[in-house]
């Protein structure tokens, strides 16, 4: 957890770095708080937008105060960062897909050349848990994976985000929905990405940031289905109807507040990672702030 406060903070002096992706679900969440559309209680947020794997690497380096990250990365950085209750991407039917140009037999997956969106992504964690013998993996920017498979550079690709809506039109075949695999195996929601904050901040500040994220999200929902220029200008090569599908799929009740069901899903992921030998030792201070 974040440390206990020792005195009332003057938030007008607090400047925090914040990282998130340019994907519509993230810009939808953070739009109001980084663009001065809501009261941020005096806190100044200096934000950067990068792809999720870059944010994962930066989290391992401790570069940012607050950041979006894959839950796979959180497993390995939980001693430095605590999870906020708002801003997460969890849900049902939102998991990564393993796709190919032609139908393939998953029994032969250990021989597949697989493009993945990053070794630190939750997508790769789910693939590793489902198919531990699938070792021939190459990191590829998530938006380039479909093309890599279509050009026969890879036998299969692990796609995330808007790839769920575009792979079939591009002529790719779904081999397995790893979200379905996770839900059927664990009876839990799929934890994909979360928002974490440095553990050395006091609990009062952590709670304030959490409430600001929740208010920022509420601001965007009040104006939906209208999408702000901040959202549309950062969504690369994406039509607005695809942006809305993206938001509807990845921004839900769990994003507003994880709740008991969401927290249970994250605890289940940590337990599965521990059982799979991907997490060692106890988590000092717990997962949440």
Integer CA distances (angstroms), 195 to 12, 61, 89, 110, 129, in order:
22, 16, 9, 33, 23
Question: For the range 105-109, what are the long-range contacts, defined as Cβ-Cβ under 8 Å and sequence gap of 24 or more?
Answer: 106/131, 106/175, 106/176, 109/133, 109/134, 109/156
Instruction: For residues 40-49, give the mean pLDDT.
Output: 96
User: How many Cβ atoms from other residues are within 10 Å of residue 274's Cβ?
Assistant: 15
Confidence of residue 233 (pLDDT cuts 50, 70, 90): very high
Q: Is 21 helix (H, G, I), strand (E, B) or coil?
A: coil
Q: What integer pLDDT is reported at residue 253 of this predicted model?
A: 95
Does residue 5 surpass a pLDDT of 70? no
Does residue 6 surpass a pLDDT of 60? no
Which residue matches tokens 């890599």?
Answer: 148
Per-residue pLDDT of 147-194, as tens digits, reads 999 999 999 999 987 788 789 999 999 999 999 999 999 999 999 899
Alpha-carbon span 211 to 279, nearest angstrom: 30
> 25: Cβ–Cβ under 8 A, 6 or more apart, which residues?
89, 246, 247, 249, 250, 251, 255
Does residue 106 surpass a pLDDT of 90? yes
Confidence of residue 264 (pLDDT cuts 50, 70, 90): very high
Arithmetic mean of pLDDT over the chain: 92
CA dihedral 250, 253, 259, 265 (to 10 degrees): -30
Confidence of residue 246 (pLDDT cuts 50, 70, 90): confident
Domains and CATH numbers, the chain: 11-90+191-275 (3.40.190.10), 97-186 (3.40.190.10)
Alpha-carbon span 272 to 269, nearest angstrom: 5
Alpha-carbon span 159 to 148, nearest angstrom: 11
Alpha-carbon span 213 to 97, nearest angstrom: 29
Q: What integer pLDDT is reported at residue 120 of this predicted model?
A: 84
Q: What integer pLDDT is reported at residue 53 of this predicted model?
A: 85
Q: What integer pLDDT is reported at residue 215 of this predicted model?
A: 98
DSSP designation for 107: G
Instruction: For residues 87-99, give the mean pLDDT.
Output: 90
Q: Is 252 helix (H, G, I), strand (E, B) or coil?
A: coil
Which residue matches tokens 């929902």?
Answer: 221
Q: b/e for 172-200, b at 16 or more Cβ within 10 A?
A: beebbbbbebbbeebebbbbbbbbbbbbe
- Name the catalytic one among 46, 76, 85, 161: 161
Residue 161 annotated among the catalytic residues of the structure: yes
């Amino acid at each position: 957890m974040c440390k206990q406060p020792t005195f009332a903070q003057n938030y007008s002096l607090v400047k925090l770095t914040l990282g998130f992706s340019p994907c519509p679900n993230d810009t939808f969440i953070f739009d109001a708080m980084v663009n001065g559309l809501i009261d941020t209680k005096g806190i100044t947020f200096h934000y950067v937008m990068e792809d999720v794997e870059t944010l994962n690497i930066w989290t391992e380096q401790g570069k940012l105060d607050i950041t979006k990250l894959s839950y796979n990365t959180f497993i390995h950085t939980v001693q430095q960062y605590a999870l906020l209750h708002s801003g997460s991407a969890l849900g049902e039917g939102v998991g990564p897909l393993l796709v190919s140009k032609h139908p393939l037999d998953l029994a032969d997956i250990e021989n597949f050349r697989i493009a993945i969106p990053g070794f630190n992504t939750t997508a790769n964690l789910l693939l590793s848990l489902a198919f531990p013998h699938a070792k021939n993996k190459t990191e590829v920017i998530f938006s380039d994976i479909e093309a890599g498979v279509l050009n026969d550079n890879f036998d299969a690709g692990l796609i995330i985000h808007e790839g769920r809506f575009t792979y079939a039109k591009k002529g790719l075949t779904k081999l397995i929905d790893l979200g379905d695999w996770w839900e059927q195996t664990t009876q839990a929601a799929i934890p994909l990405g979360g928002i974490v904050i440095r553990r050395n901040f006091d609990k009062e500040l952590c709670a304030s940031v959490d409430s600001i994220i929740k208010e920022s999200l509420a601001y965007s929902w009040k104006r939906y289905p209208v999408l702000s220029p901040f959202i549309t200008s950062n969504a690369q090569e994406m039509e607005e109807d695809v942006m809305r599908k993206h938001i509807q799929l990845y921004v839900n009740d769990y994003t507003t507040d994880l709740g008991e069901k969401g927290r249970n899903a994250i605890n289940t992921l940590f337990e599965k990672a521990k059982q799979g030998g991907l997490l060692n030792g106890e988590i000092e201070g717990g997962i949440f702030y």
